[in-house]
Structure 1
Amino acid sequence: MSKVQDYPSRLSDNSSRKFETFSYLPAMTDKQIREQVQYIVDQGYNPGVEHTEVENATGNYWYMWKLPLFGETDIDTILDECKACHEANPDNHVRLIGYDNYAQSQGASMVIYRGKGFK
Protein backbone atom coordinates (compact mmCIF):
# COMPACT_ATOMS: atom_id res chain seq x y z
CA MET A 1 0.00 0.00 0.00
CA SER A 2 1.31 3.45 -0.85
CA LYS A 3 1.83 6.10 1.78
CA VAL A 4 -0.63 8.98 1.92
CA GLN A 5 1.05 12.36 2.05
CA ASP A 6 0.17 14.55 5.03
CA TYR A 7 -0.44 18.24 4.38
CA PRO A 8 0.21 19.98 7.70
CA SER A 9 -2.59 22.52 7.44
CA ARG A 10 -3.25 24.40 10.68
CA LEU A 11 -5.65 27.21 11.54
CA SER A 12 -2.86 28.95 13.41
CA ASP A 13 -0.65 29.02 10.30
CA ASN A 14 -2.22 31.03 7.45
CA SER A 15 0.45 29.92 4.98
CA SER A 16 -0.39 26.23 5.46
CA ARG A 17 -4.11 26.43 4.70
CA LYS A 18 -5.65 24.69 1.71
CA PHE A 19 -8.81 26.00 0.06
CA GLU A 20 -9.74 23.76 -2.83
CA THR A 21 -8.32 21.00 -5.02
CA PHE A 22 -5.84 23.27 -6.80
CA SER A 23 -4.30 24.29 -3.45
CA TYR A 24 -2.70 20.87 -3.23
CA LEU A 25 -0.99 21.25 -6.60
CA PRO A 26 1.91 23.48 -7.61
CA ALA A 27 0.90 27.06 -8.41
CA MET A 28 -0.76 27.35 -11.81
CA THR A 29 0.84 29.33 -14.60
CA ASP A 30 -1.07 32.14 -16.33
CA LYS A 31 -1.69 29.74 -19.23
CA GLN A 32 -3.14 27.09 -16.91
CA ILE A 33 -5.38 29.65 -15.19
CA ARG A 34 -6.60 30.80 -18.61
CA GLU A 35 -7.40 27.17 -19.52
CA GLN A 36 -9.43 26.78 -16.31
CA VAL A 37 -11.37 29.97 -17.09
CA GLN A 38 -11.99 28.58 -20.59
CA TYR A 39 -13.38 25.42 -18.97
CA ILE A 40 -15.78 27.53 -16.87
CA VAL A 41 -16.95 29.32 -20.03
CA ASP A 42 -17.22 26.06 -22.01
CA GLN A 43 -19.45 24.54 -19.31
CA GLY A 44 -21.82 27.49 -19.57
CA TYR A 45 -21.13 28.51 -15.97
CA ASN A 46 -21.59 32.14 -14.92
CA PRO A 47 -18.30 33.48 -13.54
CA GLY A 48 -18.23 35.34 -10.26
CA VAL A 49 -15.36 36.86 -8.29
CA GLU A 50 -15.08 36.77 -4.50
CA HIS A 51 -12.46 37.86 -1.97
CA THR A 52 -11.74 37.64 1.75
CA GLU A 53 -9.05 38.37 4.30
CA VAL A 54 -6.39 35.69 4.73
CA GLU A 55 -7.43 34.96 8.31
CA ASN A 56 -11.09 34.47 7.28
CA ALA A 57 -10.45 32.29 4.23
CA THR A 58 -11.65 29.08 5.88
CA GLY A 59 -15.05 30.59 6.61
CA ASN A 60 -18.10 30.10 4.44
CA TYR A 61 -18.61 33.77 3.66
CA TRP A 62 -16.44 35.54 1.10
CA TYR A 63 -17.22 39.06 -0.16
CA MET A 64 -18.66 39.23 -3.65
CA TRP A 65 -16.83 41.49 -6.09
CA LYS A 66 -19.60 43.20 -8.04
CA LEU A 67 -22.34 40.94 -9.40
CA PRO A 68 -21.63 37.63 -11.13
CA LEU A 69 -20.67 38.08 -14.78
CA PHE A 70 -23.88 36.56 -16.12
CA GLY A 71 -23.38 35.21 -19.64
CA GLU A 72 -19.82 36.51 -19.94
CA THR A 73 -17.75 34.40 -22.33
CA ASP A 74 -14.71 36.64 -22.91
CA ILE A 75 -11.82 35.17 -20.93
CA ASP A 76 -9.90 38.45 -20.85
CA THR A 77 -12.88 40.27 -19.33
CA ILE A 78 -13.19 37.62 -16.62
CA LEU A 79 -9.46 37.71 -15.83
CA ASP A 80 -9.52 41.53 -15.84
CA GLU A 81 -12.25 41.47 -13.16
CA CYS A 82 -10.17 39.07 -11.06
CA LYS A 83 -7.17 41.38 -11.42
CA ALA A 84 -9.24 44.49 -10.56
CA CYS A 85 -10.51 42.77 -7.41
CA HIS A 86 -6.96 41.83 -6.45
CA GLU A 87 -5.68 45.37 -7.05
CA ALA A 88 -8.50 46.82 -4.93
CA ASN A 89 -7.93 44.22 -2.16
CA PRO A 90 -4.21 43.29 -2.32
CA ASP A 91 -4.17 41.72 1.16
CA ASN A 92 -7.10 39.39 0.38
CA HIS A 93 -7.42 36.05 -1.34
CA VAL A 94 -9.36 36.34 -4.62
CA ARG A 95 -11.20 33.37 -6.06
CA LEU A 96 -13.11 32.73 -9.26
CA ILE A 97 -16.40 30.84 -9.03
CA GLY A 98 -18.28 29.18 -11.88
CA TYR A 99 -21.99 29.13 -11.03
CA ASP A 100 -23.92 26.24 -12.57
CA ASN A 101 -27.46 27.42 -13.41
CA TYR A 102 -28.75 23.88 -13.87
CA ALA A 103 -27.50 22.40 -10.59
CA GLN A 104 -28.04 25.70 -8.75
CA SER A 105 -24.59 25.44 -7.18
CA GLN A 106 -20.94 26.17 -7.78
CA GLY A 107 -19.60 24.09 -10.63
CA ALA A 108 -16.04 25.37 -10.23
CA SER A 109 -14.06 27.34 -7.66
CA MET A 110 -10.39 28.29 -7.53
CA VAL A 111 -8.23 30.85 -5.77
CA ILE A 112 -6.64 33.05 -8.44
CA TYR A 113 -4.65 35.40 -6.18
CA ARG A 114 -3.33 34.70 -2.69
CA GLY A 115 -3.38 37.51 -0.14
CA LYS A 116 -0.30 38.98 1.48
CA GLY A 117 1.07 36.88 4.28
CA PHE A 118 0.30 33.68 2.41
CA LYS A 119 3.28 31.85 0.95
Structure 2
Amino acid sequence: MSEMQDYESSLSDPSSRKFETFSYLPEMEKDRIRKQVEYIVKQGWNPAIEHTETENAFGHYWYMWKLPMFGETDVDRILGEAEACHKAHPEHHVRLVGYDNYAQSQGASMVIFRGPIKV
Protein backbone atom coordinates (compact mmCIF):
# COMPACT_ATOMS: atom_id res chain seq x y z
CA MET A 1 0.00 0.00 0.00
CA SER A 2 1.33 3.43 -0.86
CA GLU A 3 1.65 6.23 1.65
CA MET A 4 -0.98 8.95 1.90
CA GLN A 5 0.03 11.99 -0.07
CA ASP A 6 -0.54 15.50 1.19
CA TYR A 7 -2.14 17.77 -1.36
CA GLU A 8 -0.45 21.13 -1.15
CA SER A 9 -3.05 23.87 -1.23
CA SER A 10 -3.49 27.15 0.55
CA LEU A 11 -5.74 30.16 0.72
CA SER A 12 -2.84 32.39 -0.28
CA ASP A 13 -2.40 30.50 -3.58
CA PRO A 14 -5.70 30.67 -5.53
CA SER A 15 -4.46 28.32 -8.24
CA SER A 16 -4.00 25.51 -5.68
CA ARG A 17 -7.59 25.54 -4.37
CA LYS A 18 -9.87 22.58 -4.96
CA PHE A 19 -13.67 22.25 -4.97
CA GLU A 20 -15.34 18.96 -4.09
CA THR A 21 -13.96 15.53 -4.97
CA PHE A 22 -14.01 15.88 -8.77
CA SER A 23 -11.69 18.88 -8.77
CA TYR A 24 -8.77 16.63 -7.84
CA LEU A 25 -9.23 14.90 -11.19
CA PRO A 26 -8.57 16.39 -14.63
CA GLU A 27 -11.33 18.73 -15.79
CA MET A 28 -14.34 16.78 -17.05
CA GLU A 29 -15.19 16.86 -20.72
CA LYS A 30 -18.79 17.31 -21.86
CA ASP A 31 -19.49 13.59 -22.19
CA ARG A 32 -18.28 12.96 -18.63
CA ILE A 33 -20.45 15.80 -17.30
CA ARG A 34 -23.38 14.30 -19.21
CA LYS A 35 -22.79 10.94 -17.50
CA GLN A 36 -22.87 12.65 -14.10
CA VAL A 37 -26.19 14.33 -14.99
CA GLU A 38 -27.54 10.97 -16.16
CA TYR A 39 -26.49 9.45 -12.83
CA ILE A 40 -28.26 12.21 -10.87
CA VAL A 41 -31.44 11.67 -12.90
CA LYS A 42 -31.20 7.87 -12.53
CA GLN A 43 -30.99 8.24 -8.74
CA GLY A 44 -34.19 10.31 -8.76
CA TRP A 45 -32.39 13.32 -7.33
CA ASN A 46 -33.47 16.86 -8.17
CA PRO A 47 -30.83 18.74 -10.16
CA ALA A 48 -29.96 22.34 -9.40
CA ILE A 49 -27.39 24.79 -10.74
CA GLU A 50 -25.45 27.18 -8.48
CA HIS A 51 -22.76 29.78 -9.18
CA THR A 52 -20.44 32.12 -7.34
CA GLU A 53 -17.50 34.44 -7.85
CA THR A 54 -14.18 32.59 -7.90
CA GLU A 55 -12.85 34.45 -4.87
CA ASN A 56 -15.97 33.55 -2.82
CA ALA A 57 -16.13 29.84 -3.63
CA PHE A 58 -15.09 28.60 -0.18
CA GLY A 59 -16.75 30.42 2.66
CA HIS A 60 -19.63 32.14 0.96
CA TYR A 61 -23.12 31.46 -0.22
CA TRP A 62 -23.46 30.11 -3.79
CA TYR A 63 -26.23 31.76 -5.78
CA MET A 64 -29.04 29.54 -7.05
CA TRP A 65 -29.57 29.67 -10.82
CA LYS A 66 -33.37 29.75 -11.00
CA LEU A 67 -35.09 27.13 -8.82
CA PRO A 68 -34.03 23.50 -8.45
CA MET A 69 -35.40 21.47 -11.34
CA PHE A 70 -37.80 19.33 -9.31
CA GLY A 71 -38.60 16.11 -11.14
CA GLU A 72 -36.64 17.07 -14.27
CA THR A 73 -35.42 14.00 -16.15
CA ASP A 74 -34.39 15.57 -19.47
CA VAL A 75 -30.59 15.51 -19.42
CA ASP A 76 -30.34 17.97 -22.32
CA ARG A 77 -32.54 20.48 -20.52
CA ILE A 78 -30.43 20.23 -17.35
CA LEU A 79 -27.21 20.68 -19.33
CA GLY A 80 -28.82 23.59 -21.20
CA GLU A 81 -29.53 25.37 -17.92
CA ALA A 82 -25.95 24.81 -16.75
CA GLU A 83 -24.63 26.26 -20.01
CA ALA A 84 -27.03 29.22 -19.77
CA CYS A 85 -25.78 29.95 -16.25
CA HIS A 86 -22.18 29.74 -17.43
CA LYS A 87 -22.92 32.03 -20.37
CA ALA A 88 -24.65 34.56 -18.09
CA HIS A 89 -21.82 34.42 -15.52
CA PRO A 90 -18.60 33.50 -17.39
CA GLU A 91 -16.40 34.79 -14.54
CA HIS A 92 -18.08 32.50 -11.97
CA HIS A 93 -17.66 28.89 -10.94
CA VAL A 94 -20.79 26.92 -11.84
CA ARG A 95 -21.70 23.73 -10.03
CA LEU A 96 -24.28 21.02 -10.51
CA VAL A 97 -26.04 19.69 -7.43
CA GLY A 98 -28.26 16.63 -7.10
CA TYR A 99 -30.64 16.96 -4.14
CA ASP A 100 -31.74 13.68 -2.57
CA ASN A 101 -35.33 14.05 -1.32
CA TYR A 102 -35.18 10.93 0.82
CA ALA A 103 -31.97 11.77 2.71
CA GLN A 104 -32.77 15.50 2.53
CA SER A 105 -29.21 16.30 1.54
CA GLN A 106 -27.00 16.69 -1.48
CA GLY A 107 -26.41 13.37 -3.18
CA ALA A 108 -23.94 14.92 -5.60
CA SER A 109 -22.20 18.25 -6.03
CA MET A 110 -19.51 19.14 -8.54
CA VAL A 111 -18.07 22.23 -10.19
CA ILE A 112 -18.66 21.77 -13.92
CA PHE A 113 -17.46 25.17 -15.16
CA ARG A 114 -14.55 26.93 -13.51
CA GLY A 115 -14.21 30.67 -13.63
CA PRO A 116 -10.80 32.26 -14.21
CA ILE A 117 -8.55 32.27 -11.17
CA LYS A 118 -7.87 35.76 -9.85
CA VAL A 119 -4.52 36.20 -8.17
The letter of the residue matching 1:25 is L
TM-score, normalization by structure 2? 0.93
In the alignment, structure 1 segments of 5+ residues that lack a partner are none
Find the counterpart in structure 1 of residue 34 from structure 2. Answer: 34
In the alignment, structure 2 segments of 5+ residues that lack a partner are none
Figure out how many residues of one structure are paired with residues of the other and give that number. 118
Find the counterpart in structure 2 of residue 52 from structure 1. Answer: 52
| Deviation of the 1:60 alpha carbon | 4.7
Q: Tell me the alpha carbon deviations over residues 63-82 of structure 1, each in whole angstroms, 9 at most, x when there is no partner.
A: 10000011110111001101
Counterparts of 1:69 and 1:75, CA distance in 2: 11
Distance 1:31 1:86, change over 3 A: same
TM-score, normalization by structure 1? 0.93
Find the counterpart in structure 2 of residue 92 from structure 1. Answer: 92
RMSD: 1.2
Q: Secondary structure at the match of 1:26?
A: coil
Could you tell which deviates more after superposition, 5-14 or 107-116?
Answer: 5-14
Counterparts of 1:82 and 1:13, CA distance in 2: 28
